[in-house]
Amino acid sequence: MIVTTAETANKTNRTREKGTAPGAWTPFGHAPFAVLWTATVVSNVGTWMNDVGAGWLMTELSPSPLVVAGVQAATTLPVFLFALLAGAVADIVDRRRMLLVVNALLGVTATALAFVVTLDAMTPSLLLVFAFLLGTGAAFMAPAWQAIVPKLVPRPELPAAIALNSMGINVSRAIGPALAGFLIVALGIWSPFALNAASFAVILAALWWWSPPEAPSRRLPPEHVGGAISAGLRYAMNSSPLKATLIRAAAFFAFASAYWAMLPLIARQVLGGGPTLYGILLASVGAGAVAGALILPAIRRRLGPDRTVAAGTLGTALVLAAFAVVPDPAVAAAASALAGVSWIAVLSSLHVSAQTALPDWVRARGLSIFLTVFFGAMAGGSLIWGQIASSAGISAALLIAAAGALTFIPLTWWAKLGQGEELDLAPSMHWPEPIVALDRTEERGPVMIQIAYRVEPGDLVAFREAMADLARARRRGGGYGWTLMQDAEAPERFVETWYEASWSGHLRHHERVTGADRALQDRVLALHRDPSPPQARHFLSPIAKVGDTE
């Protein structure tokens, strides 16, 4: 059944009235989410088959742990390098069209890879090149893909939708590796690469079918990519909820990467197995993750996001230690299942924390920063653990990673997750339209904005604290060079000043102000002791910057 907008609103309101959270399966009631989720699972099955094939093929082409770990690094490094650019583009252009183009290019690259493997012409260097190209495509796809999720379900269902997306990834992880291991034995090393190339047809068909809600018309010109990247970084640096999430993500993924980087070598060298065992281990991870997704809502309600991430980190450390000290295939399979439960508990909690910290105008850029930290930690960690394994052994690398993961639980406990879940990040549009008597203001910049307040001496401490929070809000929306000055002749008078790059950028700030920003502004206005409310005054550079709109 396709749920209409009115039905969705009524259902959401009924859920709020009852005081209950949406069920784990509720997002499947929306046809676009269900179709795109299914297509993503099919495509990810192909991706996991490709990754298993690449990892196993590299163990045949080169026995060096550093070179084998390089496959993981080559796949994840592009996200670290290009995700921020991809997020800026995704916030500027039509996201559906961008996803269509990127998936088409990925399909062509995957087809070329399959042909090279079939012709038995692959080399270690060429395999790393293909891994890097596929990783680059994933880097440009991921921010746009994650940014459309809030368009598929209502906000109360967003945590459930993110958990289902994580579960979908792990359903494919349960199917893809096991299927790849079987196909490599039955048909040859070329088969997983060929099926991955074919899987892109499914995701392209789903995206072609999907008709997203029509975006509101723009009254301002699009941002330039450079300005959009700067705005995304500025927002992240001044968002406490997002910064806390990034810190916790870096602390986990840097050590969890040891598991993914070493797994092919664990299967071949530590356990003495073949591609079938490698596929079983990865399938166990996927099965554990699926089970974890089903119990995750109950875990989150009982533990909250911080303790959920701590428990997942502890589970990951136990898995690393088990691989290091108990070289038994049955134990390895059980440990891999625990790894899957731990992985989805941490990844889903971090992802929900990042999503809820971002308004829609900067969503793809903010998520791209999260992905940059995620994959940067994974890529850097993979290279580090590969180097340690080469010099000290695989078991030593795994034990060091386990100890590091445990150490960083208390060290990062102060960075609390889920701070954005209660914030109103929808546009409030409460700033009045500025009155301008100049011509061609869009081409003018920089812009200086000043607001004067009158504050009683007894309110100074509260005023300074409120203004410090308001300053971060100004910077999140595009401001820089913020200052608060006290009038020497009239000590009760304070002048707030900040700058913005251009007049069109300032008008974008008007559109980006959120309900949470309005609450901060109300705190400040409650301390303003003048009958008339403070008025913003705008000053523009007398020299126009032609063509500079951001």
Q: Which two tokens stand for residue 256?
A: 């969890």
Return the SS3 of 545: coil
| Residue 209 and residue 2 in contact, taking contact as beta carbons nearer than 8 Å | no
Q: What is the pLDDT of residues 188-235, one digit of tens each?
A: 888 888 888 999 999 899 999 988 777 666 667 777 888 888 888 999
Residue-level pLDDT at 334: 92
* pLDDT tens track for 275-319: 778 778 877 887 887 788 778 878 888 899 999 999 999 999 999
Q: What is the mean pLDDT of residues 32-56?
A: 85
pLDDT at position 440 is 59
Q: What is the pLDDT of residues 329-338, one digit of tens each?
A: 899 999 999 9
Is 60 within 8 Å of 210 (Cβ atoms)? no
Q: Which of 107, 134, 96 is nearest to 199 (CA)?
A: 107
- Alpha helices by DSSP H, 357-451: 363-392, 394-411
**What confidence tier does 471 reach under pLDDT thresholds 50, 70, 90?**
very high
Rg (CA), the chain: 26
Rounded average pLDDT over 53-64: 76
Residue 547 is predicted with a pLDDT of 45
Mean pLDDT lowest for which of 2-16, 318-332, 388-402?
2-16
Task: Express as a percent the part of the chain with pLDDT over 70.
Answer: 89
What pTM does this model have? 0.76
Q: How far is CA 62 from CA 90, 127, 146, 247, 523, in A?
A: 38, 11, 35, 35, 63
pLDDT at 212: 78
> Quick one: which of 316, 268, 274 has its CA closest to 292?
316
**Residue 3: per-residue pLDDT:** 32
- Write the secondary structure of 270-307 as one string of H (helix), E (strand) and C (coil): HCCCCHHHHHHHHHHHHHHHHHHHHHHHHHHHHHHHHH
Evaluate if residue 64 carries a pLDDT over 50. Answer: yes
The full set of domains in the chain, from first to last, is 24-212+221-411 (1.20.1250.20), 441-540 (3.30.70.100)
Per-residue pLDDT at 130 exceeds 70: yes
**Lowest-pLDDT choice from 7-16, 239-248, 363-372, 411-420:** 7-16
Q: How many CB atoms lie within 10 A of CB 491?
A: 11
Amino acid residing at 258: A
- Is residue 494 pLDDT above 80, yes or no? yes
* pLDDT value at residue 216: 61
- Closest by CA to 37, choosing from 183, 132, 153, is 153
Q: Name the phi and psi angles at 348, rounded to 5.
A: -65, -40
Residue 186's pLDDT is what?
79
**Tokens coding 419:** 């701070």
The pLDDT assigned to 416 comes to: 93
The whole-angstrom separation of Cα 172 and Cα 43 is 8
Q: Point out the least confidently predicted range of 48-62, 121-135, 383-397.
A: 48-62
Q: 11-19 long-range CB contacts below 8 Å, 24 or more apart?
A: 12/154, 12/156, 12/157, 15/156, 16/156
317: which residues sit within 8 A by CB, 6+ positions away?
255, 402, 403, 405, 406
Percent helix, strand, coil in the chain (nearest 5)? Answer: 70, 5, 20
CB atoms within 10 A of CB 215: 9
- pLDDT at position 11 over 50: no
Q: Give 550's pLDDT tier (boundaries 50, 70, 90).
A: very low
State how far the Cα of 205 lies from the Cα of 195, in Å rounded to an integer. 16
Residue 529 has a CB neighbour count (10 Å cut-off) of 11
Tokens matching residue 45: 């099955």
Report how far residue 332's alpha carbon sits from residue 263's, in angstroms, rounded to the nearest whole number.
10
Cα–Cα nearest to 286, from 345, 349, 348, 339: 339
Average pLDDT, the chain: 83
Q: How confident is the model at residue 63 (pLDDT cuts 50, 70, 90)?
A: low
CA triple 105-110-112, angle to 5 deg? 100
247 sits in which H/E element = helix 240-265
Residue 545: its pLDDT value, please?
Answer: 52
Question: What pLDDT, on the 0 to 100 scale, is given for residue 170?
Answer: 67
Q: Which residue has the higher pLDDT, 480 or 434?
A: 480
DSSP assignment of 347-379 equals HHHHHHHHHHT--GGGHHHHHHHHHHHHHHHHH
Segment among 62-71, 147-156, 165-174, 436-445 with least mean pLDDT: 436-445
Give the pLDDT confidence of 398-414 residue by residue, as tens digits: 999 999 999 999 999 99
Per-residue tokens: 455: 């504050």
